[in-house]
Structure 1
Amino acid sequence: MARQVYLIRAINVGGAKLPMAQLRSLATELGATEVKTHIASGNLVCTPPGSPDDFARTLETRIEDRFGFFREVIARSAAQLGDAVAAYPFDAGEEKFAHLYFLTGVPDAELVKSFLDNDFEPDELAVIGADLHIRYRAGVAATKLSVPKIARGLGVTGTGRNLRTVRTLIELAQS
């Protein structure tokens, strides 16, 4: 089994504290090997003991049991992350403004069309498969786009990372 990247939504914000040392310990307890984390925002890289999606569901359950809050865990391979970066349809410019928002599933085409018809100016958005590509023109703090708007609009939730972080996660998964 190849290493996988696990992206945990909304960790260490809004009272959902999950120290990375405890996340690494939990992943190891669940049978994962080659366990690493990157920054304190819920980025786990490891080789799961079985199916990547089964491990993600187990991790969700164990995080809720141990820490008292539910957070979605999204599994992606290094190749899937690389494909998402390669498909990024906008000028990345400063990578801190170029984001990939990894969704929990592929949204319905009608929901995508309706969602993209909204005015999120000056930001640019595109949905490609199970990924929302975002170019924040004025920065994340100034956007009209929010996590609840994404979830309501696309019918699925997810978690975002800037391109610099995604590239680092690819490197960690491949090393």
Structure 2
Amino acid sequence: MPASRIVLIRAVNVGGTKLPMVRLRQIATELGADDVSTYIASGNLLCTPPGDPTEFDRALEQAISAEFGYFREVISRTPDEIAAALAAFAFGDAAHGHLYFLTGTPNAAAADEFCARDFGNGERLAVIGRDLHIDYRNGAGATKLTPKLIERALGVTGTGRNLRTSSTLVERART
């Protein structure tokens, strides 16, 4: 059966913050999710959560925090929502395109001001709904655009995935 949610966990398995995908699948199952699977070891969970998806996301945050001793935001979308974000990607088929899934919809004026800024590496930015579209034209490795900077400017945090990973997550969730 296809998964009804794509659950994205911010900043795991980087910089010493470990979250084994086997354990993530177990935690999701313990919380009542069905159709549980993961994709690559960067906090991508596909599942059908029990009841309200937002409540599941918060419970998953709490379970990860309790077991591993760190807090990471959990952001989920339906496969259709991520497919729509991909279809609406503001910069076409950018070689270094990313979708940064936000925890909420930022203030329009703050989003406009943020997207007009020059971060020094040729980045192009657009906020569409709850998603920040980023084209790292010169690659993501040299950017000064950090999660903290995004959070300060937009008033919400999030987690990013490149377009290829986002597309693969939609395909996997639908099969």
The TM-score normalised by the length of structure 2 is 0.95
TM-aligned CA deviation for residue 93 of structure 1: 3.6
Counterpart code for 2:125: L
Kindly indicate whether the alpha-carbon contact (under 8 Å) linking 2:36 and 2:45 is maintained by their aligned counterparts in 1: yes
Question: Using the alignment, how far apart are the partners of 1:93 and 1:2 within structure 2?
Answer: 28
TM-aligned CA deviation for residue 158 of structure 1: 0.3
Counterpart code for 1:4: R
Equivalent in the alignment of 1:70? 71
Counterpart code for 1:170: V
Counterpart code for 2:154: L
SS at match of 2:92: coil
Question: Using the alignment, how far apart are the partners of 1:159 and 1:93 within structure 2?
Answer: 19
Equivalent in the alignment of 1:136? 136
Identity %: 57
Equivalent in the alignment of 2:162? 162
Kindly indicate whether the alpha-carbon contact (under 8 Å) linking 2:7 and 2:45 is maintained by their aligned counterparts in 1: yes
| Consecutive unaligned residues in structure 2, runs of 5 or more | none
Aligned residue pairs total 173
Does residue 83 of structure 2 align to residue 82 of structure 1? yes
Question: Using the alignment, how far apart are the partners of 1:24 and 1:73 within structure 2?
Answer: 14
- 42 and 2 in structure 1: CA distance in 2 versus 1, 3 angstrom threshold: closer
Does residue 11 of structure 2 align to residue 10 of structure 1? yes
Equivalences for residues 42-121 of structure 1 within 5 A: 42-94=43-95, 97-121=96-120
Kindly indicate whether the alpha-carbon contact (under 8 Å) linking 1:6 and 1:44 is maintained by their aligned counterparts in 2: yes
TM-aligned CA deviation for residue 2 of structure 1: 5.8
Kindly indicate whether the alpha-carbon contact (under 8 Å) linking 1:7 and 1:159 is maintained by their aligned counterparts in 2: yes
Question: Using the alignment, how far apart are the partners of 2:9 and 2:63 within structure 1?
Answer: 13
- 5 and 146 in structure 1: CA distance in 2 versus 1, 3 angstrom threshold: same
Question: Using the alignment, how far apart are the partners of 1:139 and 1:46 within structure 2?
Answer: 31
TM-aligned CA deviation for residue 91 of structure 1: 2.8
Does residue 40 of structure 2 align to residue 28 of structure 1? no
**What are the Cα deviations for residues 99-155 of structure 1, in whole angstroms up to 9, with x where unaligned?**
000000000112112212311351110000000000111100111211111011101
SS at match of 2:98: strand
Kindly indicate whether the alpha-carbon contact (under 8 Å) linking 1:101 and 1:159 is maintained by their aligned counterparts in 2: yes
Counterpart code for 2:173: A
| Consecutive unaligned residues in structure 1, runs of 5 or more | none
TM-aligned CA deviation for residue 51 of structure 1: 1.1
Residues 114-123 or 76-85, more deviating = 114-123
Aligned Cα root-mean-square deviation (Å): 1.3
SS at match of 1:49: coil
Kindly indicate whether the alpha-carbon contact (under 8 Å) linking 1:92 and 1:135 is maintained by their aligned counterparts in 2: no
